[in-house]
Structure 1
Amino acid sequence: QKKELEEQERIERKLLRKKRSEEIYTKKTGIVEIAAQLTVKEFSEKIGVPVSEVLASLMKNGIMATLVQSVDFDTASIIAEELEVTVKQEEENLSSEDLLKGDLSALLVDDEENLKERPPVVAIVGHVDHGKTSLLDAIRKTKVTDGESGGITQHIGAYSITKNGKDVTFLDTPGHEAFTSMRARGAKTADIVVLVVAADDGVKPQTIEAISHAKSAGATVIVAANKIDKESANLDKLRGELSEHHIQVEDWGGTVPMVPLSAMTGQGVDELLEMIFLQAEMMELKANPKRLAVGTVIEAHRDPSLGPVATVLVNTGTMKLRDQFILGTTWGRVRSLTDEDGNKLKTVPPSGAVRISGIDDLPNPGDIFQVLKDKKEMKVKQAEIEELKLKEKNKSMGVTDILQSIKAGNMKYLKLVVKADTTGSLEAIQQALDEIGNDEVKAKIIHGVVGGVNESDIIMASAGQ
């Protein structure tokens, strides 16, 4: 009788184990998100299929695996298809190293099927007193005349307008240093750069600097020939001066559009907006609005009542209230979202610009904003960033570091800023540098101009590292 009881208990335990196994392994329906790399056991639990079935399917495909062996997404997707489960790859977070470097490229990769059209992001740059601010004001007026709420109630460094049912976001980046600082962190901020040049004054030192910034950023350039209402305006002279700096306008057989306008009278402003929309259409700008938000800091300051606040341009994804995020070397949870008109928002789509609060410390222009899934991810990122901050403290790239980087194959181009005393000297130096190079590394001039070395040149040189 004792043996019968023991046998009964053994059968019951076996049935209980089987029941638990069935509860754990209930085949998932719909789309299951899995990591780029995961173990066989993790994969089995994710898709709700017993390990034995997963191992059998792997074996059928010529893969001998164990429970703790890792499989990549491509392999997992083939096995999942055989087991009649639909899987997709989880969005990957940026490594803390890339996050601090400001390298957005890895984060912006997405499946074509998830991408939707997004508005263009436009930066307006130019020489001081050439009418950049007046042009921004003239564009703001078109927002009012289109029947939208008029008047910018607060300066957030970016704003959006809608023209003929199309949206565009403008970045107000006063001073070239701010623009270069973003470049120094490798942040992809603007799709299109509008280069404002006064038709009565022509190309000036800061115009040349702005051209270098735009080219270095890889942005599409549109020339806005301002002040055409003045008698001294000379468009042919301007075209010639621009061509000397490798800006060949369409009127002269080049590829760069030039729009003559007057910010003072409003003449040509609508044509400029139409040209921006045309260029954007040709560029086929897209982003995934359904993923966790990724963005770039435009500017930041301390608010007396809100603490650290930052204007963030959303590069992809949709930003929401209470999102947990990493922002450069700091972090936080979105407490408020405010647009340029002072409106409180709940969500911000791709290419939208918004002021956020709820930041632990003040970020820098160009820092990357990345929303994280949960507190666990947040803690891991915080620890990694704190460790990297200690390593990076007071670290700079000297000649020895550059040579080691070339030797390791990490540097293919040595980017240079060239300054000379005369145009003749500058041309000779540039030609000589163009001829230097081998299979390991080549010299690439990112900015060349006559004059003494200034702080802006140093910032631009740091952008080239």
Structure 2
Amino acid sequence: MDKQVAIQTPITVADFAQALDMKVTDVIAELMKNGVMATINDTIDFETAAIVAEDLGVAVTEDEAPASAEESTPQTSQLASGEGESRPPVVTVMGHVDHGKTTLLDGLRQSDTAAGEAGGITQHISAYQIQHNERTITFLDTPGHEAFSALREHGARLTDVAIIVVAADDGVQPQTKEAIQFARDEGVRVVVAINKVDLPGADTNRVKQQLADEEVLPEEWGGETVTVEISAQKQQNLDTLLDMVLLVADVADIRARYDGPAEGMIIESQLVKGQGVTATVLVRHGELNVGDYLVAEDAYARIRSLEDFTGARLERAGPAMPVAVTGWKAAPRLAAVAVEYPDEKSARKAAGSTRDEGSGKSDITQPEALTAAMREGQKFHVPVIIKADVEGSLNAVQQSLERLKTDEVQVEIVGSGIGPVSESDVTLAESTGARIIGFGVSAPGRIKQLASRAGITIQVHTVIYELIEAVREEMSSVLEPEVIEEEWGTLQVRGVFKIAQKELICGGQVTAGKIKPELHVRYQAGEEVGTVKSVQREQQSAKEVVEGEMCGLNITTERKVKVAEGDVLEFVARETRQRSA
């Protein structure tokens, strides 16, 4: 490593970040990846600092100069084993589409959200809490459709226990395997809910064998994974499932610091009419209060209001609580670490430094840059502007469209944002030739009229796979059509009767296959001759002539061609087909 830094320990996270010349939020995020939950005022020892610094590409050495007693006293303690207080577990429900994740959560919440989901699938992350045996459990619901893999991975990073739902009649599917991998990568404990056991095609033993094939060995087979057979639709065995979740959480001894500055992660952000930007924060440590200052990368807020998942107003929120926070100056990024700051000056400074470092990045591509990108490699580009209802959906749409690229065509995202389609979107679309694609948002009537006058297309979708297919069709439309050729026959020229600028009349013998009007004609070497206008056999018009027969041909040409006696002509049928991107 090129960079070396000497530090005195114990050291606060804020001082450690300053010594590394890095953003505090980046250091806190790296600490979290290593299982250390610390805020800017917490202290860490040298061993922890060395591991985190190495992950960040910096080598640290310990400065032996003694620190004064006052300097070495931490304001708050780093959470070590056994420290802090027990907190509610955060549980993510994951699995393949249509395996019953939302129905399960409906049963747990005694609600019905599945019927309200567009296309019957969950389309952005939800967070809420339930009570079971006088204990609180926080649940995250993640989408099952393949386009939302980024949200599912995000959910796994926030979670303590993952319930992976597998339908007993369908077994382990691609997104089941993906959920298992996410949980494994993030070190998340897994409980498998084998759902739909009441259906005729249910086969729980097959599901367990498939799980074992993925190295998820059920307890009853000698493994460590808890499996519970349930029917979410009939609410069978749901209490047992919750008991098992709490048992797994208790074994893990999940703890948090309840006092001091708050820290959490951004689950979602959206633009709410009358409230401005609202972000859902999952509190990990400390206490979040109305009036506190919160920083998430380049966005900061003076908390104007806190609401729980039911919409009830709160004055404060503690660990494992998902709360909607208003008062943001800009929309924070999904999965950003949110850290409390003591005052607006320090919060604004922290957010500003992050914004300055990322100032080269923009959500808008300038027309000149777009033109240059379109010239690159002579690849076709389909420019689009994406508007979505929430940050998570926006990310999912962007990643899905970026994956559509081929060797010949790709989507060029020239602008994106959350909230309804606006006049500035139409202006950008005019300058870049882009179409505007909305997901879960509306386009006001005035904006639609403005776009119509400017010749700008606005497409609004509520189902992710319909949006993807619409863009795929647009990508296909810019590709050159594929020409399909079918060989019909060959003819050896025995006589040439007329060669004109647009016409060739000749005769000969069919040496293979058959010949009929409208077939394309070329030399054996491949050079184009023209198209058969008519065929004659024994001076009579014929629909076709076959191998061995003599015939006369009238061929329409684009130019004067050179055909001589003895030449062999080939005859083919051509069909153009629109290619798919």
Pairwise TM-score range, normalised by the shorter structure: 0.5 to 0.7
Q: Which has the higher strand share?
A: 2
- Asked if structure 1 preserves the Cα contact closer than 8 Å seen for 2:296 and 2:351, the reply is no
The residue number in structure 1 matching 2:37 is 108
Which residue of 317, 330, 337 corresponds with 1:348?
317
Counterpart Cα distance in 2 of 1:92 and 1:226: 47
Are 1:197 and 2:199 matched, yes or no? no
1:226 is displaced (CA, Å) by 0.1
1:92 is displaced (CA, Å) by 3.7
- Asked if structure 1 preserves the Cα contact closer than 8 Å seen for 2:152 and 2:179, the reply is no
The residue number in structure 1 matching 2:307 is 338
Counterpart Cα distance in 1 of 2:314 and 2:223: 43
The residue number in structure 2 matching 1:388 is 357
The residue number in structure 2 matching 1:180 is 150
Q: Deviations over 1:318-374 (max 9, x none)?
A: 111111011132111111111111110011110111111111111222111110122
Which residue of 231, 248, 268 corresponds with 2:200?
231
**SS of aligned partner of 1:362:** coil
**SS of aligned partner of 1:161:** strand
The residue number in structure 2 matching 1:288 is 257
- Asked if structure 1 preserves the Cα contact closer than 8 Å seen for 2:162 and 2:190, the reply is yes
**SS of aligned partner of 1:322:** coil
- Asked if structure 2 preserves the Cα contact closer than 8 Å seen for 1:173 and 1:179, the reply is no
Which residue of 369, 373, 377 corresponds with 2:338?
369
The residue number in structure 2 matching 1:360 is 329
The residue number in structure 1 matching 2:222 is 253
Which residue of 292, 309, 312 corresponds with 2:281?
312
Q: Deviations over 1:72-114 (max 9, x none)?
A: 465xxxxxxxxxxxxxx76648846463594452771424485
Which residue of 86, 89, 100 corresponds with 1:117?
86
1:301 is displaced (CA, Å) by 0.8
- Asked if structure 2 preserves the Cα contact closer than 8 Å seen for 1:161 and 1:169, the reply is yes
**SS of aligned partner of 1:229:** coil
The residue number in structure 2 matching 1:222 is 191
1:377 is displaced (CA, Å) by 2.3
Out of 325-334 and 110-119, give the one that drifted further: 110-119
The residue number in structure 1 matching 2:233 is 264
Q: Deviations over 1:180-213 (max 9, x none)?
A: 35747x9830011100000111011111111111
Amino acid at match of 1:330: A
Pick the structure with greater CA Rg. 2
Counterpart Cα distance in 1 of 2:7 and 2:201: 70
Counterpart Cα distance in 1 of 2:291 and 2:85: 24
**Compared with structure 1, are the counterparts of its residues 212 and 114 closer, same or farther at alpha carbon in structure 2 (3 Å cutoff)?**
closer
- Asked if structure 2 preserves the Cα contact closer than 8 Å seen for 1:183 and 1:366, the reply is no
Q: Deviations over 1:359-411 (max 9, x none)?
A: 111122211111012234224313321222125669xxxxxxxxxxxxxxxxx
Gaps of 5+ in 2: 1-5, 39-77, 113-123, 364-467, 469-581
1:178 is displaced (CA, Å) by 4.7
Q: Which has the higher contact order (CA 8 A, sep 6+)?
A: 1
The residue number in structure 2 matching 1:213 is 182
The residue number in structure 1 matching 2:25 is 99
1:242 is displaced (CA, Å) by 0.9
- Asked if structure 2 preserves the Cα contact closer than 8 Å seen for 1:250 and 1:258, the reply is yes
Gaps of 5+ in 1: 1-69, 75-88, 144-154, 395-454, 456-465
Aligned length: 300
Q: Which has the higher helix share?
A: 1
Moved over 3 A (4+): 70-74, 89-98, 100-104, 111-114, 175-179, 181-184, 391-394
Counterpart Cα distance in 2 of 1:317 and 1:171: 20
Counterpart Cα distance in 1 of 2:218 and 2:288: 38
The residue number in structure 1 matching 2:73 is none
Counterpart Cα distance in 2 of 1:287 and 1:223: 26
Amino acid at match of 2:333: N
- Asked if structure 2 preserves the Cα contact closer than 8 Å seen for 1:198 and 1:225, the reply is yes
1:171 is displaced (CA, Å) by 0.6
Amino acid at match of 2:128: Y
**Compared with structure 1, are the counterparts of its residues 247 and 170 closer, same or farther at alpha carbon in structure 2 (3 Å cutoff)?**
same
Counterpart Cα distance in 2 of 1:315 and 1:334: 17
Counterpart Cα distance in 2 of 1:92 and 1:379: 16
Q: RMSD over aligned Cα, in angstroms? A: 2.9
Counterpart Cα distance in 1 of 2:339 and 2:308: 19
- Asked if structure 2 preserves the Cα contact closer than 8 Å seen for 1:100 and 1:367, the reply is no
Counterpart Cα distance in 1 of 2:189 and 2:336: 22
**Compared with structure 1, are the counterparts of its residues 178 and 298 closer, same or farther at alpha carbon in structure 2 (3 Å cutoff)?**
farther
Amino acid at match of 1:180: A
Counterpart Cα distance in 1 of 2:302 and 2:111: 35
